């Protein structure tokens, strides 16, 4: 889970590699006499031994073998991975519990949902039920400890007959999941490809270790785009409702063995506080078990940067579902290493109670720690079985109550307002009469500021039918449903809060067990001003600070502040877009509104079939409605009608027939030849972009630096896309650092992969990109890749700078948040956009035009543009440009400062990229 920069730092601190373990080392999990095959007998080499990694095929075979040999395990297929492998979950418990799984799953569901139960009934169910614990492995596939250790944990639980094991099996249902089957297969096979064990490594794997997302597979949980994420969310929040979610990672902070909870502040203000107190309990049990067993080197809180703020990770989304989310980060791997000497870790303190001495370390050492950590969590679950079950009900019940009455969430802004109001209050009194008066003042301040009726939490939300981009509304609601949120649909028109809503509108009530997640997806995050010291630089949040999904996806919704009763029916499962249709005869052809992202999918189908498609540059009328500039014109033909009939119905968008060809200037589109720039090893934002292009059926090829350096790009491509992080870091750059994948020696990788090697350079690559653009090509640069736009001569420059250097963090700091910007949607690059949009901004740049060839498409026009997250010095954005349409010679450079495709979440800004792909090569016509 650690970023590569931290991994490199740990490697730099290492003293030396130790010698490999002796061949005669004892087995980690010795054979038994009950007929269950030990790992040493099932694999070509025992998992956990030096220089060996078992792959997913071997793991899967062993799971099936265990399931045939033990009555303590049941295998469940939870879905397919992105590459089509079966994602298995092993359910481990006593034979008696396995025989009644449906009963215990129903108890877990009823308590977690907390609907229609009172405390007495909940206590009765908690007495009958079994604790449910999810433990996964392999999410980040190069973090190999977790996958190899799970093999041994399973074996030990299936063969152990000690009192503790039997008690755990009787009290707990354990769900062992594998989070990334494809990644384990890739990484293990890559590591084992060399016959000389001491030359094995996986630092040079050729692509991301999960298709499209790599490390970001643990940032996908609230959107749930990826197949693996959706499979796990289904288990966690729609089927099994575990009270504990244990997500295992590596590597441990330098000089320690393992990080385990609790975490540093801040925590998110939306979830139930009981989550955090129970999290601390389990964390204490984990550290105490290690120390009691003489296993030093655990750290917590300040020992690492992890917090509980961001919702997108597996263990953190658990908090918004009333589950205890655990994260461990442990040292180790198949290649032996050393624990480095880090002096600060050698002094015992609260957050590092038992330091570990520097010295050699083997994978088998990590596996013993993993066993202890798993054992500690399961022992806690066993001893607290009934309390865990009742408390998940209690939190769900609390959330239902909060959503059913007036409730206020206290955030840093409200505390700032309270402090400001308190500044006008009289000083504290010392006598009794004065003290009573002071109490009245304090109560009045509390009620006035922290219980302001205008600032209470909504009882829920209405998402009206008839929005311009209803397929995106469907995608948003499906993200909620995948996370166990109850969504309702109106089967007739209704009124709420003085507004009228049409039939088919959606309702999301706050009065449900997972209210915390509902609020977090609709309301802005208000991250504290977390400074290293008063007046000092900000402490970066772990991951990002603001991510409100409804804002990112451009969803129109109304907050409802009263009871939400109406003709509502709960949606039973994932939604499909309401079928679109062709409206009118269309004797001349059809117009398609530009508002829906799926209009690009339909456009690409038409272009692929050789059908002429154009954008109408002026506004128009069709089907009794006014269409904004950019409406898509399709002349009549039998083939066009066939594609439109199928496409409108399946994609959920309408087409409007016209009796005559519309008048006005057109942009005639052509199938674009798109090059998506990538690097050896993969760049996550490029691969997220690949996923987006595939979803909307854009034709493209991946392009690597050697091909760019060779030139002649205009012969093969119309558009080159440089996603965030594709331009290597330069210490003098005004743009935040890009990330570069490791570049192995050509001789160390297969010949068919060598063409991917290399990095974009100023000397070789930039002149070829400039020549491509000046000759008529289109270059799209996103986020940190805008450094390239300046290098090739775009008539715009970085605005957030002073004396040629980036603004210091004490002056300007927006660490992954949402900001509001104006949009000129009469420009082709912004066709289909609203007049104002929320942008994802992560230490991004903004621009100033330096020549007449730079047209502002979107810009910041407010002193306080922050919509969700955290911003210092946000006023410095005012008057700067977010999106630029720049001319270079005969070509175009579209500069997009914010990360408009970030993790495929900001649907509201996808059109900037999609329009750019088609607009650059388009030709003006009448």
Return the HEC string of 191-239.
HCCCCCHHHCCCCCCCCCCCCCCHHHHHHCCCCCCCHHHHHHHHHHHHH
Q: Is 841 helix (H, G, I), strand (E, B) or coil?
A: strand
Q: Is the bond leading into 266 cis (omega within 30 degrees of zero)?
A: yes
CB of 44 closer than 8 Å to CB of 383: no
Distance of alpha carbon 239 from alpha carbon 26, whole angstroms? 40
pLDDT of residue 10: 34
Q: For residue 225, which of 237, 213, 235, 236 has the smallest C-alpha distance?
A: 213
Give alpha helix (H) positions in 248-312.
273-292
Residue 738: the pLDDT is 66
Whole-number pLDDT of residue 430: 56
Contact call for residues 816 and 543 (beta carbons, < 8 A) = yes
Three-class SS state of 781? strand
Task: Name the helix (H) or strand (E) containing 627.
Answer: strand 625-627
At residue 356, the 3 state secondary structure works out as coil
Cis peptide bond prior to 251, omega within 30° of 0: yes
Alpha carbons 433 and 450: distance in angstroms, whole number: 25
Which residues, in sequence order, are CB contacts of 99 under 8 Å at separation 6+? none
In the DSSP assignment, the letter for residue 783 is G
Of the chain, the end-to-end C-alpha distance in Å amounts to: 54
CB 133 within 8 Å of CB 174:
yes
Closest CA to 67 of 48, 92, 43, 85: 92
Give the pairing of strands 891-896 and 778-782. parallel
If the chain, 926 residues long, is cut into consecutive pieces of 10 residues, what is the mean pLDDT of each piece? 37 33 68 95 97 98 98 98 98 98 98 98 98 98 97 98 98 98 98 96 94 97 98 98 98 96 96 97 98 98 97 98 98 97 96 97 98 98 98 98 97 94 66 59 87 96 98 98 98 95 98 98 97 93 97 98 96 97 96 98 98 96 92 98 98 97 94 97 96 98 98 98 90 75 89 96 96 98 96 96 92 97 98 98 96 96 98 98 97 98 98 97 83
Instruction: Tell me how crowded residue 377 is: count the other CB atoms within 10 A of its CB.
Output: 26
Give bridge partners of residue 462 from the DSSP assignment: 507, 558
Per the CB < 8 A criterion, the answer to whether 66 and 37 are in contact is yes
CA distances from 411 to 306, 408, 448, 540 (A): 20, 9, 15, 18
Q: What is the dihedral of CA 899, 907, 913, 761, to 10 degrees?
A: 30
Q: Given CA atoms 866, 309, 329, 691 in this order, what sign does their dihedral have?
A: negative
Q: Answer for the pair 896, 780: CB distance below 8 angstroms, yes or no.
A: yes
Q: Which domains does the chain have, with CATH numbers?
A: 4-16+33-190+219-308+319-399 (3.40.630.10), 408-454 (no CATH), 456-570 (no CATH), 587-668 (3.30.70), 674-925 (3.40.50.880)
- Category of 35 on φ-ψ map: left (φ > 0), alpha (ψ -120 to 50) or beta: left
Among the listed residues 274, 267, 251, 209, the one whose alpha carbon sits nearest the alpha carbon of residue 55: 209
Cα(780)–Cα(920) distance, integer angstroms: 9
The dihedrals phi and psi of 382, each to the nearest 5 degrees, come to -65, -50
768-785: b (≥16 Cβ within 10 Å) or e: bbbbbbbeebbbbbbbbb
Residue partners of 769: CB distance under 8 A and separation at least 6: 708, 713, 720, 779, 788, 792
Cβ atoms 204, 242 nearer than 8 A:
no
Predicted pLDDT at 772: 98
**Residue 221 contacts residue 307 (beta carbons within 8 Å):** no
- Residue 19: its pLDDT value, please? 34
C-alpha of 800 from chain center: 27
399: part of which helix (H) or strand (E)?
helix 385-404
Q: pTM of this prediction?
A: 0.95
Q: Which helix (H) or strand (E) holds 367?
A: helix 363-383
């Amino acid at each position: 889970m650690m970023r590569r920069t931290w991994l490199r730092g740990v490697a730099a601190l290492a003293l030396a590699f130790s010698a490999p373990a002796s061949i005669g080392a004892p087995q980690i999990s010795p054979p038994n006499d009950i007929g269950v095959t030990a790992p040493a007998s099932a694999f070509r080499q025992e998992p956990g031994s030096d220089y060996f990694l078992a792959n997913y095929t071997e793991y899967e075979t062993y799971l099936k073998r265990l399931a045939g040999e033990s009555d303590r395990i049941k295998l469940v297929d939870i879905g397919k991975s992105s590459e089509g492998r079966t994602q298995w979950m092993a359910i481990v418990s006593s034979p008696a519990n396995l025989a009644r799984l449906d009963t215990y799953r129903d108890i877990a569901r009823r308590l977690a949902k907390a609907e229609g139960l009172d405390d007495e009934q909940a206590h009765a169910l908690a007495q009958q039920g079994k604790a449910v614990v999810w433990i996964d492995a392999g999410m980040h596939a190069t973090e190999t400890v977790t996958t190899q250790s799970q093999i041994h944990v399973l074996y030990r639980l299936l063969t152990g007959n000690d009192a503790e094991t039997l008690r755990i099996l009787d009290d707990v249902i354990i769900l062992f999941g594998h989070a990334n089957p494809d990644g384990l297969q890739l990484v293990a096979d890559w590591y084992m490809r060399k016959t000389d064990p001491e030359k094995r490594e996986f630092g040079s794997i050729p692509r991301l270790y999960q298709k499209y997302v790599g490390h970001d597979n643990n940032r996908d949980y609230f959107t749930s785009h990826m197949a693996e994420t959706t499979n796990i969310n289904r288990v966690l929040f729609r089927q099994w409702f575990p009270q504990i979610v244990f997500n295992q990672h590596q590597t441990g902070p330098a000089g320690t063995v393992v990080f385990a909870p609790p975490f540093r502040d801040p925590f998110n203000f939306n979830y139930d506080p009981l989550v955090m107190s129970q999290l601390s309990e389990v964390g204490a049990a984990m550290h105490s078990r290690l120390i009691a067993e003489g296993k030093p080197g655990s750290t917590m809180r300040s020992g690492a940067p992890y917090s509980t703020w961001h919702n997108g990770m597996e263990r953190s989304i658990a908090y918004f579902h009333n589950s205890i989310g655990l994260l461990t980060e442990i040292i180790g791997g198949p290649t032996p290493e050393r624990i480095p000497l880090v002096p600060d870790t050698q002094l015992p303190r609260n957050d590092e109670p038992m330091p570990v001495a520097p010295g050699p370390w083997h994978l088998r050492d990590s596996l013993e720690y993993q066993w202890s950590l798993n054992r500690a969590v399961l022992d806690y679950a066993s001893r607290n079985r009934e309390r865990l079950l009742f408390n998940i009900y209690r939190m769900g019940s609390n959330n239902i109550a909060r959503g059913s009455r007036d409730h206020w969430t206290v955030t840093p802004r409200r505390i700032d307002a309270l402090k400001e109001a308190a500044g006008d209050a009289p000083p504290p009194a010392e006598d009794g009469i004065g003290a009573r008066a002071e109490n009245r003042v304090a109560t009045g301040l509390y009620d006035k500021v922290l219980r302001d009726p205008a600032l209470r939490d909504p009882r829920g939300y209405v998402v009206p039918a008839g929005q311009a981009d209803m397929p995106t509304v469907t995608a948003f609601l499906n993200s909620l449903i995948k996370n166990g949120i109850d969504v309702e649909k109106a089967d007739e028109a209704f009124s709420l809060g003085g507004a009228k809503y049409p039939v088919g509108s959606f309702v999301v009530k706050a009065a449900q067990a997972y209210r915390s997640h509902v609020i977090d997806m609709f309301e802005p995050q208000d991250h504290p001003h977390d400074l290293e010291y008063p007046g000092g630089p900000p402490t970066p949040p772990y991951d990002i600070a603001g991510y409100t999904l409804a804002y990112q996806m451009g969803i129109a919704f109304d907050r409802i502040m009263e009871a939400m009763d109406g003709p509502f029916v709960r949606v039973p499962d994932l939604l499909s877009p309401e079928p679109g249709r062709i409206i009118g005869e269309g004797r001349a052809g059809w117009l398609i509104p530009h508002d829906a992202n799926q209009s690009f999918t339909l456009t690409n189908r038409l272009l692929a079939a050789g059908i002429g498609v154009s954008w109408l540059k002026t506004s128009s009328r069709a089907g009794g409605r006014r269409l904004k500039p950019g409406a898509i014109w399709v002349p009549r033909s039998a083939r066009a009608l066939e594609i439109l009939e199928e496409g409108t119905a399946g994609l959920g968008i309408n087409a409007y027939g016209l009796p005559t060809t519309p008048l006005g200037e057109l942009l005639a589109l052509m199938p674009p030849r798109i090059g998506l720039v990538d690097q050896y090893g993969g760049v996550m934002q490029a691969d997220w972009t690949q996923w987006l292009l595939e979803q909307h059926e854009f034709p493209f090829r991946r392009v690597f630096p050697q091909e760019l350096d060779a030139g002649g790009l205009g012969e093969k491509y119309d558009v080159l896309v440089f996603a965030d992080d594709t331009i290597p870091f330069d210490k003098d750059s005004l743009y935040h650092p890009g990330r570069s994948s490791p570049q192995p020696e050509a001789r160390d990788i297969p010949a068919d992969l060598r063409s991917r090697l290399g990095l974009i350079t100023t000397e070789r690559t930039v002149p070829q990109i400039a020549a491509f653009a000046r000759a008529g090509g289109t270059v799209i640069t996103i986020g940190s890749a805008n450094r390239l736009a300046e290098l090739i001569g775009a008539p715009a420059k970085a605005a957030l700078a002073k004396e040629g250097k980036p603004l210091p963090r004490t002056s300007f700091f927006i660490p992954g948040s949402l900001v509001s910007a104006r949009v000129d949607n009469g420009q082709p690059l912004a066709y289909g956009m609203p007049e104002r949009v929320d942008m994802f901004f992560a230490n991004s740049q903004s621009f100033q035009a330096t020549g007449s060839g730079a047209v502002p498409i979107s810009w910041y026009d407010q002193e306080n543009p922050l919509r969700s997250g955290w911003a210092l010095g946000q006023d410095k954005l005012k008057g700067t440009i977010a999106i630029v349409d720049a001319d270079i010679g005969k070509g175009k450079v579209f500069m997009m400062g914010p990360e408009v495709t970030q993790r495929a979440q900001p649907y509201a800004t996808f059109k900037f990229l999609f329009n750019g792909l088609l607009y650059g090569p388009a030709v003006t016509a009448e």
